[in-house]
Every structure is written in C-alpha cells, then in structure tokens.
C-alpha cells in the first residue's frame, strides 16, 4: 500500500498523470494508478502537478543583516520545495547556516561564497586575503551534501580594485575541487562582462543574465546582443535569471528571446526586502514574468525543475520519475490580469497567473 496517491492530476502539457509516494520516494508514475493508498489526493483534473520547484538563487541565512530571509517563507509556503542559497555565507560561517537549516521544512542547499565570510561582510572580494583555498577545501569536505557549488560576485562594488582576479581564483578553486558548480554574479563594470564570460566555461552559471545595466548582455547603442555573449551562450555557459532588486529588465529579456537567446534557468535572488516590497515577491511571480516575455509554460516549469537539478547535481530531484525524491508542486494556472514590474520599474500586464496549491516535500503535504 502506498503512503500517498495523487489522482487525476495534469502535467503542464495537459496530459493526465497520477503519482504514488512511499517513504519519501516516488514509487509510481502513470496516467492511471489503481492501487490502494493510506491517503488519496484527488485533483479532479483541475490542478497541474510537476516535480518540486527549485529556486537556485536565494538568500536565506537569517543572521545576515541585509540580504536575508527565512527558507520556509520563500520555499514551502510558496510552492518551492528546494532553495539554493547563493553565496550569503563563506567558509567561516556556512556551518552555522547549515545548522539553522536542519529545523526547516524546505530543502536547503548552499553555494559557498569564495570569500570566507560571504556577503555578511560587504565588498567581500575587494580584499583578496579573504579568499583562502584551504578554508574552502575544509568546508567542502565537512559539508559535501549541503554545499553544491561556489559563488563569486563579479561587479565593481564587490571586487573593488581587484578586477577579474577573484574570478580567476574561483576558477582555480573549482578546478581543484572536482569541478564543482560555479555561479557568477554580474553587475556594473569593472570587470567588463566580456572579461567574465571569456573565463567562464560550459556548465558555469551566469546569474542576473537579463539585467538592464550597460555592462549587461545587450548593447544599448544597437539594441542587440553583444557578440561575445553569443560566444559564451553557444559554448554552454548557463544563463540564469536571478531577478533580484536590480537585475531583471523586461526589454532585455524580450530582445534576447526574439534573437533566440533564452534563459536556461529561472531564479529569484529573493530576500526579505524584495519579497516584501517587490519587485520579486516570490518564484511564481518571476515565472509569470517569463510567461509575459514569451516563454511557454512547459519550458518555464522545466527551468525550475529538471534544469537547476542538473546544473547543481541534485541527482534525485527535478523529475517526476520513480526512485526520485517525493518533492512535488501542485499548482493552478488561472486567467486573470495582473500588473508585473521589473527591476527598473517597467510594467507588463500578465493574462495568466500561476498559483501554487500544495507543496509536497519528502512525501509530506503542505497546503499553500
């Protein structure tokens, strides 16, 4: 007998699906399952079902004074089963962060900042003495299941006078630690975006890919994607949204889509201020923005499930597949107008909203 059986659900393509869960694992997936279960959730053909949503760029170390939030308030309560904190902590404080995550319902992982105190100390890459490879190596060895990659913020306000050097150090740390995933934040120059992308390799994640800054992917004089950006995209650099307070621009995203450049993954860069006051609010709102830009719901769901799971080697997450973790998001898509605002105050009107109804984490069901 299964623990839970979800009946009469829909995949995002509209096809019928039923899913059985047992002991925190997906045990069966089919168009119809007629075996008994202790609990049956009948969606009556009204709700969609997907693998649990993954937000691969958040800030949820609650002891940080500015860029902080609470995992369950941006996770399970918002239809998100897994969050990845993107470099809030470094080797000196990531153990404390890990201990805090043990008491939450949402799955929490971390990208460790290459600077030893992370962004808790601002301008963290302006002082290269804070990048200590031995401390990174020690933390990785101690928390291999929690730390799923490293993070380097490559913008003027962070690196100070150090230019591209912190990224070169990050690439060195990456190569000496089993080529673990690397996420790179971009912003104002220096360093120039071309310097950053030239050093990034296939599988490296470029976050804030659709920011509206002069040092972004769009040549503001010609309104075209810069040539070197295409080179990076074609070699397999992962383009991640990382919406944030100041890093998502409708025009850049729309222009990129028309040119054939799509974001590979969708994330929020959420923390308590841009969750409470906007423009981020939650992952669902960010998904709605990509829908307005012109992405299909099918590819949107893939970009918050299978894609981030693959990018960060979450081997048992991101798919409705037998043997995978019983992390699922149940949601509805409703026709309703909603004003959406990007990071620069530009608005678009959505015709559809995506509304999480229930979040299932490790087989445990939570109502939204």
Q: Is 219 annotated as a binding residue?
A: no
Residue at 67 is within a domain: yes
- Looking up tokens 């105050």 gives 345
Q: Is 231 annotated as a binding residue?
A: no
Q: How many domains does the chain have?
A: 2
Do residues 269 and 354 share a domain?
no
Q: Is 208 annotated as a binding residue?
A: yes
pLDDT, residue 120, reads 83
Do residues 177 and 78 share a domain?
yes
Do residues 20 and 153 share a domain?
no
- As beta bridge partners, residue 37 has 2
Residue 39 to residues 54, 88, 106, Cα–Cα distance (Å):
25, 39, 22
Do residues 111 and 25 share a domain?
no
Residue at 61 is within a domain: yes
Neighbour-count burial for 333-346, b at 16+ CB within 10 Å, e otherwise? beeeeeebbbbbee
Residue at 286 is within a domain: yes
Contact 56, 265 (CB under 8 A): yes
Report how far residue 340's alpha carbon sits from residue 90's, in angstroms, rounded to the nearest whole number: 34
Note if the pTM is more than 0.95.
yes
Report how far residue 42's alpha carbon sits from residue 257's, in angstroms, rounded to the nearest whole number: 38
Do residues 186 and 57 share a domain?
yes
Do residues 250 and 269 share a domain?
yes
Q: Is 226 annotated as a binding residue?
A: no
CA dihedral 158, 161, 166, 168 (to 10 degrees): 140
| Number of C-beta neighbours around residue 244 at 10 A | 25
Do residues 223 and 82 share a domain?
yes
Do residues 41 and 18 share a domain?
yes
Q: Is 57 annotated as a binding residue?
A: yes
Q: Is 185 annotated as a binding residue?
A: yes
Q: State CA 105 to chain mean position distance.
A: 18
Do residues 12 and 68 share a domain?
no
Residue at 289 is within a domain: yes
CATH of residue 277's domain is: 3.20.20.140
- Looking up tokens 């621009």 gives 249
Do residues 282 and 363 share a domain?
no
Residue at 318 is within a domain: no
Structural domain boundaries enclosing 329: 2-50+323-367
pLDDT, averaged in runs of 10, over the chain (368 residues)? 98 98 98 96 96 98 92 98 98 98 98 95 91 96 98 95 97 96 96 98 98 97 98 98 98 98 98 98 98 98 98 98 98 97 98 98 96
In 3D space, the residue among 277, 273, 217 whose CA is nearest the CA of residue 241 turns out to be 217
Sort residue 345 into left (φ over 0), alpha (ψ -120 to 50) or beta.
Answer: left
Do residues 286 and 307 share a domain?
yes
Residue at 63 is within a domain: yes
Contact 171, 139 (CB under 8 A): no
Residue at 317 is within a domain: no
In 3D space, the residue among 56, 59, 5 whose CA is nearest the CA of residue 313 turns out to be 56
Do residues 125 and 259 share a domain?
yes
Residue at 27 is within a domain: yes
CATH of residue 31's domain is: 2.30.40.10
């Amino acid at each position: 007998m299964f623990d839970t059986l979800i009946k009469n659900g829909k995949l995002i393509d509209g096809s019928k699906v039923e899913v059985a869960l047992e002991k925190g694992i997906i045990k069966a997936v089919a168009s119809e399952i007629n075996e008994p279960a202790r609990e049956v959730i009948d969606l009556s053909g009204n709700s969609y079902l997907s693998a649990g949503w993954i937000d691969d760029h958040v800030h949820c170390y609650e002891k940080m004074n500015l860029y902080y939030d609470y995992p369950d308030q941006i996770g399970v309560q918002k239809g998100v089963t897994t969050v990845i904190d993107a470099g809030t902590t470094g080797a000196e404080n990531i153990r404390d962060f890990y201990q805090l995550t043990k008491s939450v319902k949402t799955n929490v992982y971390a990208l460790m900042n290459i600077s030893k105190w992370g962004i808790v100390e601002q301008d963290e890459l302006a002082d290269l003495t804070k990048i200590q490879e031995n401390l990174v190596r020690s933390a990785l060895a101690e928390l291999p299941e929690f730390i799923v990659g490293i993070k380097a913020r490559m913008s003027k306000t962070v690196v100070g006078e150090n230019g591209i050097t912190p990224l070169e150090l990050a690439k060195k740390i990456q190569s000496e630690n089993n080529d673990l995933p690397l996420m790179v934040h971009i912003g104002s120059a220096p360093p120039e975006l071309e310097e950053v992308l030239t050093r990034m390799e296939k599988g490296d994640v470029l976050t804030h890919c659709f920011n509206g800054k002069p040092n972004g992917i769009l040549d503001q004089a010609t309104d075209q994607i810069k040539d070197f950006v295409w080179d990076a995209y074609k070699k397999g650099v992962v383009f991640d949204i990382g919406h944030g307070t100041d890093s998502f621009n409708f025009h850049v995203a729309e222009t990129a889509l028309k040119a054939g450049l799509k974001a590979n993954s969708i994330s929020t860069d959420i923390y308590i201020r841009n969750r409470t006051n906007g423009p981020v609010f939650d992952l669902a709102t960010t998904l709605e923005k990509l829908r307005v830009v012109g992405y299909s719901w099918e590819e949107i769901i893939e970009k918050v499930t299978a894609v981030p799971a693959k990018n960060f080697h979450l081997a048992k997450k991101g798919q409705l597949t037998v043997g995978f973790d019983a992390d699922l998001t149940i949601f509805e898509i409703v026709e309703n107008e909603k004003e959406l605002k990007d990071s620069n105050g530009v608005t678009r009107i959505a015709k559809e909203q995506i509304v999480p109804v229930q979040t299932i984490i490790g087989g445990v069901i939570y109502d939204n």
